[in-house]
Amino acid sequence: MSTPRVTIYDTTLRDGTQGTGISFSVLDKIRVAERLDDFGVHYIEGGFPGSNPKDAEFFREAKKRTWKHAKVSAFGATRRGKVKVEDDPQVRILLDAETPAVTIVGKTWPLQVVEVLGVALDENLAMISDTVAYLKKHGREVLYDAEHFFDSYRDDPAYSLATLKAAHDAGADLVVLCDTNGGSLPEFVAQATRDVLAALGPGTVGIHTHNDSGLGVANALSSIHAGAVQVQGTINGYGERVGNCDLITVMANLQLKLGIPVVPDLTRLRELSLFVDELANVPHNIRAPYVGTAAFTHKGGQHVHAVQKLASSYEHVDPMLIGNSRNITISDMSGQSNVIVKAEERGFKFAKGAPEVAKILAEVKRLEAEGYEFEAAEASFELLIRRTLGQHTPLFALDEYHCGFRCTGNGAWNKCEATVKLRIGGEKAYVVEEGDGPVNALDAALRKALRPHFPQIDSIALEDYKVRIINGQQGTAAKTRVFIVSTDGTDTWGTVGVSDNIIEASWLALVDSFDFKLRR
């Protein structure tokens, strides 16, 4: 297999796990590695085999597997100062991992060499050279990570280049320029990359950036444009502090913008991003470039109208190329195009300019002015259409409901109770139920009243319940928006209710949820 112009080096399993809140079990790490390999990533850094039992176990498991595309890499450091490389235990551990590639990090910045390592500058060069040569002698592909390269290059270009030359001359397959502090700018990164290539020759440089200035991806692309042949980063940009260069965004930009093929099938990019988020137990960033839910979401009426005529007017690439899809939302910023598209998704067909469309749009804008939001409340939007068109017959007529909460002074006993009075098909229902809270009690009472007429109500479960204060400056008199997500185990739908009273807002969202499902 020929070597691509740019290789992808993933360090999610090491650098990514240094991010706050990111942790993987051994099984998680294996699953992520297998998915990366299947996706076509070229290198997978599994961690430092000697740092903890979990990383050691990962490398033992990695030996047992056959990797289709990727080379697994063990990560470590140069030998310690004034210690023979063959006597350094952490270097031996790197060899014992039996990975085809090894990545070692070394000090580039004289400030760190003297103040952190506590060795002479010449000794640091020997540490780099000895370690690279020793690993090469044992048949490993060696990548040398030049830590703090760009900070060092500003202070002392000559010594910075000397450290890279020590690694290169000792046989390093690649020297990787690291923007460890994430504070460099693209122009400087590009120029420094060109300088290094002029000194070492083409095909010798990789780039490793962090995102502390929000430029992790931009800096990586600048270096590649200047001639770097490898980009290191993490899936979804996980990493220490604010994170590393996001490989998801980089791969899309390389392939779709720069025409540099890096993986066989980019249409699985969103799937990969979601998979890693799921294993990391991290909420997916809806605004992530290319793969986020909002990446191709259109809200403004003029935008929607334009996208329907010419998608490229508001979409820089076809969302299908990365496994994403276009999403049209409904809001007070909507135009008739939004209503037509979203109504069609719910099974209604309207012609442009139809009076029904204008009527529905006016009702949306009226309700949104009161605090409603329909972007994620598609069930409530469908019911709004039916009510506006006169196609909605309520499941029941409400006479009244009541919620009460009683608690003893010492907190030893409390109870929440709800009473519901309603009429269903000419029959009266009067039920009382208890719950953990007022909404739970109302839910139980309403279900009890409806069950004799709609036994399928037992298949409906509340999956999520969110409360948003709309006008907080009014304090406890503020208007409240309640958003409910419900499921029957197969389908999921959202409903919304708004009121000055949180109980009433919850009731409205709850009734919409039952109404939507039961009439289907």
Establish if 380 belongs to a structural domain. Answer: yes
As a whole number of Å, the CA-based R_g of the chain is: 30
Would 288 be classed as within a structural domain? no
The per-residue pLDDT for range 55-89, each reduced to its tens digit, is 899 999 999 999 999 999 999 999 999 899 999 99
Give the tokens for residue 356.
């029904």
Place of tokens 């997500």: 485
- 408, 482: one domain: no
Residue 468 has pLDDT above 70, yes or no: yes
Residue 294 in domain: no
- Among the candidates 217, 236, 264, a domain finishes at 264
What average pLDDT does the structure give for the chain? Answer: 89
- 101 and 62 belong to one structural domain: yes
What are the CA-CA distances from residue 439 to residues 229, 322, 370, 418, 450 (Å)? 58, 41, 22, 9, 16
Specify whether 67 is located in the same domain as 136. yes
User: Are 371 and 242 contained in the same domain?
Assistant: no
- For residue 506, the one-letter residue type is S
Clarify whether residues 353 and 224 are in a common domain.
Answer: no
- Together in a domain, 354 and 463: yes
310 domain residue, yes or no: no
* Listed range (16-25, 37-46, 174-183, 237-246) with the worst mean pLDDT: 16-25
If asked whether residues 142 and 54 sit together in one domain, one would say yes
Asked if pLDDT for residue 1 goes beyond 50, the answer is: no
For residues 373 and 380, give the distance between their C-alpha atoms in angstroms, rounded to a whole number.
Answer: 10
Which are the contacts of 360, defined by CB distance < 8 A and separation ≥ 6? 339, 343, 384, 385, 388, 389
Counted residue by residue, the chain has a size of: 520
| Co-location of 429 and 463 in the same domain | no
320 occurs within a structural domain = no
Q: Same domain for 465 and 443?
A: no
pLDDT score recorded for residue 334: 59
Q: Is residue 168 domain-shared with residue 207, that is, in the same domain?
A: yes
The closest alpha carbon to 236, from 54, 19, 6, belongs to 19
Of 149, 83, 144, nearest to 112 by C-alpha is 149
From 264, 292, 319, the end of a domain falls on 264
Q: Give the model's pLDDT for residue 311.
A: 57
Could you tell me if residue 272 is inside a domain?
A: no
Considering only residues 471 and 239, tell me which one the structure prediction assigns the higher pLDDT: 239
Helix axes 121-137, 89-96, angle to 10 degrees: 30
Total structural domains within the chain: 3
Task: Write the pLDDT tens digit of every residue in 257-311.
Answer: 999 999 999 999 999 999 999 888 888 898 999 998 887 776 655 555 555 555 5
At residue 204, the pLDDT reads: 97
Q: Find all residues with CB under 8 Å of 367, minimum gap 6, and list them.
A: 374, 384, 498
Residue bearing tokens 């690694």: 167
Instruction: Please state which of the ranges 34-43, 127-136, 333-342, 414-423 shows the lowest mean pLDDT.
Output: 333-342
What is residue 11's three-state secondary structure? coil
Greatest Cα-to-Cα distance within the chain, rounded to the nearest angstrom: 94
180 pLDDT more than 70:
yes
List of residues 6+ apart from 396 with CB closer than 8 A: 422, 423, 424, 429, 449, 450
The CATH number of residue 22's host domain is 3.20.20.70
Last residue of a domain, one of 264, 289, 312: 264
Residue 412's domain comprises 396-453
358 plus 418 within the same structural domain: no
The model's pTM is 0.73
